[in-house]
Amino acid sequence: MSFLKAFLFSLLALMVASLLFVIIVYASFGRFDDIIGLFTYPEGLIFHLFCTMGRPIWVSVDKIASGIVYNNLNGLLFSLKFLVASLIAAIVAGRVGEKRLHSFFGVFLTSIVSMIVSIILMSYSGGYQYIITNTSIGYGALFIVVGGSLLNGLIYGLIAFFTTKRT
């Protein structure tokens, strides 16, 4: 039961943190039409809710560095969303999980769910493939998402593992 609780809270924290981060970024740049558009286009909403851990961590770090170098604050903040929301989900799962392994596997399963949704969106549109993987290499992007999601699950799972208050 603790594993299920860690997984559900991790998934919920990931979705809420991602959505709030996107709304805050859009509102801070005065893009209120994009906030409304977020709720009218279901694939965009699904991307922002679920694909946060499906994007490989090295793509997020690359986009953050690119945002700093090219002085692109909007891109920088959106790329930070992928790291911050995943970190929040890992910490929440670590604090909710009753055992360390339950917290670890709860976050890892959240990463797997995010990977599956990312693969579905990538097959839906090439634009999402480029956003998620930062490349447009066709079926090779599948390997980038699978490897990146498993690495994200490992990294954030270890964060959840070490933030669990029990053994």
SS3 per-residue string spanning the chain: CHHHHHHHHHHHHHHHHHHHHHHHHHHHCCCHHHHHHHHHCHHHHHHHHHCCCCCCHHHHHHHHHHHHHCCCHHHHHHHHHHHHHHHHHHHHHHHHCCCHHHHHHHHHHHHHHHHHHHHHHHHHCHHHHHHHHCCCCCCHHHHHHHHHHHHHHHHHHHHHHHHCCCC
Of 11-15, 28-32, 108-112, 130-134, least confident by mean pLDDT is 130-134
- pLDDT grade for 116, boundaries at 50, 70 and 90: very high
Q: What is the pTM of this model?
A: 0.90
Tens of pLDDT, residue by residue over 60-102, are 898 899 989 998 888 888 889 999 999 999 999 999 988 999 9
